[in-house]
């Protein structure tokens, strides 16, 4: 793997991790059940974000940027 690809993969994964943690915080503020489900089932956290775009659009945009960085680094 080239050095630039490694950097892109690292920052993409870090950005996705940050967005997931931020999504967990938002989920816990809304309801404890959503918060616990987001912790134990990470894809459900982004599904919650799609249903509550008013509160979570920034987090979803961050997750999109992280996904783009990760996929660019892998391919």
pTM over 0.95: no
Interval 17-38: pLDDT, tens = 999 999 999 989 988 888 898 8
CA distance 7 to 75: 13
pLDDT for 1 beyond 80: no
pLDDT for 58 beyond 80: yes
pLDDT at position 38: 87
How large is the average pLDDT for residues 5-18? 93
CA distances from 61 to 1, 11, 30, 72 (A): 27, 15, 20, 16
């Amino acid at each position: 793997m080239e050095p630039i690809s490694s950097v892109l993969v690292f920052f993409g994964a870090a950005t996705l991790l940050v967005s997931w943690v931020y999504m967990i915080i938002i989920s816990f503020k809304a309801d404890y059940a959503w918060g616990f489900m987001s912790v134990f089932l990470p894809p459900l956290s982004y599904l919650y974000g799609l249903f509550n775009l008013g509160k979570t659009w920034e987090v979803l945009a961050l997750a999109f940027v992280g996904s783009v960085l990760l996929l660019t680094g892998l391919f």
